Structure 1
């Protein structure tokens, strides 16, 4: 898998800033999906020290944490809401009701992709500031890099 600039959420002072993901669109798609399954969406507020936005999507039977990368149109799902500062775990494959995310331009990553070892991830397009962060934090798998609390 090849990562684009902005994957870590960092860039250097001399680098052109990376544009932010349209989190309003992501939230709208989650609301529409929740409406169809008779559920609701709750927003989880985090400090700016994370590389992602998170929402809970609750149906009558299940609750998911819907994660949206802050700078790339990438999303993932977890079985429980993330705990600030804690490594994210409990990723689950995208539920069937998230079809609209793909139509809206978001790539929903399955667990298999999230568990890709960093040795198999192409980081050649990342800025030097991002590579510095990767060397410092030493993420083991792709999910550690994409959905992080690095400061």
Structure 2
């Protein structure tokens, strides 16, 4: 029997996972993103850049990307965010190995990962260039501008 719209909207499908971080003195709760939060996060790490041939490409801007995701995903026991988006620069100054560990959990809970990231990049580039294939463009030899 197929679900109704209200059944779908009422379903609690948010995943949360505790992660032990001894260096911080305890456990951190990581929550997966909602669809809207994931879209906003992905948009925040993408930049449209012109190419020499006049077309445009979408590139992933990895500057503090881990902390930008984690401020949205680290929660208390009631599910309330621990950080605001504006706290990402401060969180980004924490130990990189710890942030990487937490990022991996947050990305997994949010349905993101290497394959999903490549799909985002490939689909975005295709949409802008008019190419209907989903393959990623060849890397550019030009240096990236400083942000």
Query: Does the TM-score normalized on the shorter chain lie above 0.5?
Result: no
TM-score (norm 2): 0.29
Q: Which has the larger radius of gyration?
A: 2
